[in-house]
A and B are shown apart, each in its own frame.
Chain A
Amino acid sequence: MTTEKEQYEEDLKEIRNRIIGFGEASVKKSYYPQLQYKQGELERFRVALDSTLDIVFILEPVSGHIIDANSRAEKVLGYTSKELLKMTIFDVADNDRLHQIIAGMESVIQTSEIIRAQVVARDGPTMPMELSVSSARFNKDRYLTVVCRDITEREEMEAAICHSEFQYRTTINTLHDILVVIDGLFNVIIFNDAFETLCRNCGISGDIQGMNFKTLNPFFSSDRGPELCDSLLLHEYFEEDLKYRHGGKFAIYSLRNMPIIENGVYKQSVLYMRDTTEYSLLENMKKEAFLQIDKNMEQFAVLNDHVRNPLQIILSTVSLESDEVAEKIMPYIKEIDNLIKGLDNGWIESEKVRNMIARHYGISLIDRSDIADVINYLQDKCKSEE
């Protein structure tokens, strides 16, 4: 167990050792280790620079003379390092904008620009490349660096994407129905021509892309109320009928929301809107027609009753008064009765149709109290005769 004094003396011994030059870092000031370290750093950087897939040039400003180039430049362009150092950047990329940038960078403190240019290899073939040109100052000198990236594959992919986009645009634009994709904030991301037409018809000018879908609020209403979008739960699937009114025009749209959920998180909604105005009107007309038929049939039933009852009385009265007369008119009465029976049978057949209409269109007079008794009578009669 060392005392405080012993520890102090031990510490002083260590300090003394370091003062007289035997500490860990105690060497005469020498730049060589630092130089080696920096050299190592530079070599590591050079290896990294040479192993990159990009071509890297260091240039003199204005003249564009190549001061240095990485080994990728030799490999891709087919020139030796010595040959490259005798060339200018314009020997491999004679591009108007590149001329302007390199000429202008002398006066600019620090800038960079990316351009696309065709780079020519030694044996003639050209490659589409993206050139990132930047200016840097080292000590009192200014240099330019140009990093050339082969974008052949990228351009092919871009063309494929363009084609794909064209196809999907064409596809969605062929739809007469409206297709629009919105994000959670109702911003329009993708839309088809039908949607654009709707917007223009609503008097919306400007860019549709990025427009807020709520801009259409004033033109639509539903059973939910006038502020349609505020009540929509975009993260849930739903179907909804919307009524469109603008400038004296009226239409009915069927709206279907198909949410896109990724990893349990709501991302976007695909809204599909179909104009169902004609269909709805036709359905209403059908309903009206069936209603009218129903009424007519009821009238027939009543009429039958009204004819048969007096006919019964006539037959009874005549039978009592004169058999001869009764015998003479009996065929006519039977003829009338047969006619009414035929009508009753027709009504029974019509009843099946009515039940079908009632099931499918919700229209029925069966429950109407004023004619319920008549209908019941007729139904009972039909059953007894069967």
Chain B
Amino acid sequence: MEMVREHRKFVVPEIITGENARIYAGKYASNFHSDTVLIATDTNAFRQKWILEILLSLDEAGTEYIIFSDIEPNPRDYNVMAGAEAYLSEECTGILAIGGGSVLDCAKGIGIVAANGGNILDYIGVDLVKNPMPPLICVPTTAGSAADVSQYAVIRNAAKKTKNLIISKSLVPDVTLLDTVPLMTQPVDVTVNSGIDALTHGIEAYVSNGASHFSDLLALESIKLSAGFFPFSVDKADDPDYRFQSLMASMYAGIAFSNAGLGLIHAMSHAIGGLYDLPHGIASSIVMRSAIQYNYSSSIRKYQKIARILGVSPDITDDKKVVKGMFEKIMGMRGSIDNPLSLSVYGASKDDIPDLVARSAGDPCIATNPRIPGQKDLSNLFESLL
């Protein structure tokens, strides 16, 4: 394992893992002196039985709550602003986010605006959030985005149709309650796409130019865990061990990428996800092969290690074959989920390429990619996806 002596920093939230960890929500709200919390969630999560224990814990702690569930997938700037308005008008003093990546990202956006004012789009970029947001307690209901442990939030600018990153240590939640129970009710496609997302986080964190010994440990552990429990089958849906492994894989990958950074896969997937409003997991799957192929030469040893963990035979040494084998293994993890992986299927054409190139080149994730692509490189990469 590479030892990096360059300066590195690690920021992680307080983490509680285990079955029914969600019942600590009330206790933490009380510890934070949050008399009234805004529960950011989605309507599907709020219909589940397991949410009752969370509400009960709040009641027992004497914490009042208001529900904000007007959150779309790939949360829009206006979702954030509506949530912030609800937060301020109800004089909330904390946020409890219960949901997948979109809900958690939106909750972070609400916290930013509540503490700093202005519009959420004012904070697009890296390290632009000055005031710490209110206490944020997360109960993730998917195992993939890792927004519950990361310094990242992705907000869609509805007018410009762009997915924008807000990156700040201030966005790292205070507490995440990693509970297997809420994961049991996830649909199959969400489970798979989230798992692929977590794997991608692990891979990108591992090969990132901001990687460190600590992030490498977590990234590799995440990839190992992911390789162990995929492909997903429906009969595993209610298996707590399986769900717990997926949560751990997501958490490790999340902490790794939050501190080491991401790369080209995310820079490109944010571009196409924004332009065609695609789910993050599908967008990542579309760009993964081309991006790994492009990066491979800059971090051969690390990619070969990933390939071995994923099950690519050590006998295969040819670079192209390693990439091909790695990609096949990853696609194999998708099991029965068979989304088309050609960009043209989602309405893309050659005319869109300059726009996609500009979006990717401006995405902060590209800054920690092991190889910095030029405009021509990006153009070729997108063309290969059509």
Which residues of A are at the interface with B, using a C-beta cutoff of 8 A?
5, 8-9, 12-13, 15-16, 18-31, 34, 139-140
Complex Cα–Cα for A18 and B9 (A) = 11
Most buried by A among B91, B126, B129, B209: B126
Q: Do B9 and A29 touch across chains, with their CB atoms under 8 A apart?
A: no
B35, CB-defined interface residue at 8 Å: yes
Complex Cα–Cα for A34 and B130 (A) = 10
State whether A19 and B129 are in contact (beta carbons under 8 Å apart), knowing that A25-B168, A26-B169, A29-B174 are contacts in the complex.
no
Chain A hits for B366, CB < 8 A? 12
Pick the interface stretch among B70-78, B177-185, B350-358, B367-375.
Answer: B367-375
Chain B hits for A34, CB < 8 A? 131-132
Complex Cα–Cα for A29 and B172 (A) = 7
Residue of B nearest to A37 (CB): B131
B37, CB-defined interface residue at 8 Å: no
Distance of B235 from chain A, by nearest CB (Å) = 40
Chain B hits for A21, CB < 8 A? 8-11, 169, 259
Complex Cα–Cα for A13 and B126 (A) = 12
Q: Do B368 and A19 touch across chains, with their CB atoms under 8 A apart?
A: yes
State whether A31 and B169 are in contact (beta carbons under 8 Å apart), knowing that A15-B367, A20-B9 are contacts in the complex.
no
Chain B hits for A8, CB < 8 A? 361
Q: Do B260 and A29 touch across chains, with their CB atoms under 8 A apart?
A: no
Distance of B282 from chain A, by nearest CB (Å) = 25
Complex Cα–Cα for A211 and B66 (A) = 59
Complex Cα–Cα for A19 and B259 (A) = 7
Find A13's partner among B128, B361, B367 (CB 8 Å cutoff).
B367
Q: Do A19 and B364 touch across chains, with their CB atoms under 8 A apart?
A: yes
Question: Would you call the interface of chain A mostly helix, strand, loop, or mixed?
Answer: loop
Q: Do A139 and B35 touch across chains, with their CB atoms under 8 A apart?
A: yes
Q: What sequence of 0s and 1s flags, for each residue 64-91 of chain B, a beta carbon within 8 Å of any chain A beta carbon?
A: 0000000000000000000000000001
Q: Do B127 and A20 touch across chains, with their CB atoms under 8 A apart?
A: no
Q: Do B127 and A30 touch across chains, with their CB atoms under 8 A apart?
A: no
Q: Do B8 and A23 touch across chains, with their CB atoms under 8 A apart?
A: no
Distance of B47 from chain A, by nearest CB (Å) = 30
State whether A20 and B133 are in contact (beta carbons under 8 Å apart), knowing that A26-B169, A29-B169 are contacts in the complex.
no
Chain B hits for A31, CB < 8 A? 132
Chain A hits for B168, CB < 8 A? 25-26
Chain A hits for B169, CB < 8 A? 21, 25-29
Residue of B nearest to A31 (CB): B132
**A12-B366, A29-B169 known, 4 other contacts, Cβ within 8 Å:** A18-B126, A20-B261, A28-B172, A29-B133
Chain B hits for A15, CB < 8 A? 126, 364, 367
B170, CB-defined interface residue at 8 Å: yes
Size category of the binding interface on chain B: 20 to 34
Residues of B1-55 whose CB lies within 8 A of A: 7-11, 35
B288, CB-defined interface residue at 8 Å: no
Complex Cα–Cα for A24 and B366 (A) = 20
Distance of B298 from chain A, by nearest CB (Å) = 14
B210, CB-defined interface residue at 8 Å: yes
Q: Do B372 and A9 touch across chains, with their CB atoms under 8 A apart?
A: yes
B167, CB-defined interface residue at 8 Å: yes
State whether A22 and B261 are in contact (beta carbons under 8 Å apart), knowing that A16-B210, A16-B368 are contacts in the complex.
no
Chain A hits for B364, CB < 8 A? 15, 19
Chain B hits for A27, CB < 8 A? 169-170
State whether A23 and B259 are in contact (beta carbons under 8 Å apart), knowing that A15-B367, A16-B368, A34-B132 are contacts in the complex.
no
Complex Cα–Cα for A15 and B261 (A) = 10
Complex Cα–Cα for A19 and B132 (A) = 17
The contact sample of 7 A-B pairs, CB cut-off 8 A, is A18-B126, A19-B367, A20-B210, A20-B259, A21-B9, A21-B10, A27-B170
Find A28's partner among B11, B209, B210, B261 (CB 8 Å cutoff).
B11
Most buried by A among B127, B133, B261, B361: B127
Residue of A nearest to B152 (CB): A19
Distance of B212 from chain A, by nearest CB (Å) = 8
Find B261's partner among A9, A16, A24 (CB 8 Å cutoff).
A16
Q: Do B261 and A19 touch across chains, with their CB atoms under 8 A apart?
A: yes
Distance of A105 from chain B, by nearest CB (Å) = 21
Distance of A5 from chain B, by nearest CB (Å) = 7
Residue of B nearest to A139 (CB): B35
Complex Cα–Cα for A297 and B133 (A) = 114
Chain A hits for B167, CB < 8 A? 18-19
Residue of A nearest to B136 (CB): A29
Complex Cα–Cα for A30 and B129 (A) = 13
Q: Do B210 and A25 touch across chains, with their CB atoms under 8 A apart?
A: no
Complex Cα–Cα for A19 and B174 (A) = 19
Complex Cα–Cα for A24 and B168 (A) = 11
Chain A hits for B8, CB < 8 A? 20-21
Nearest 8 pairs between A and B by C-beta? A21-B9, A23-B127, A15-B367, A20-B210, A16-B367, A12-B367, A18-B127, A18-B126
Q: Do A26 and B174 touch across chains, with their CB atoms under 8 A apart?
A: no
Residues of B196-239 whose CB lies within 8 A of A: 209-210
Chain A hits for B11, CB < 8 A? 21, 28
Distance of A313 from chain B, by nearest CB (Å) = 126
Chain A hits for B171, CB < 8 A? 29
Distance of B101 from chain A, by nearest CB (Å) = 19
Chain B hits for A20, CB < 8 A? 8-9, 210, 259-261, 368
Complex Cα–Cα for A16 and B259 (A) = 11
Residue of A nearest to B174 (CB): A29
Complex Cα–Cα for A139 and B364 (A) = 40
Q: Do B127 and A25 touch across chains, with their CB atoms under 8 A apart?
A: yes
Q: Do A30 and B132 touch across chains, with their CB atoms under 8 A apart?
A: yes
Chain A hits for B374, CB < 8 A? 5
Residue of B nearest to A29 (CB): B132
Chain A hits for B132, CB < 8 A? 29-31, 34
Find A24's partner among B7, B127, B170 (CB 8 Å cutoff).
B127
Distance of A12 from chain B, by nearest CB (Å) = 4
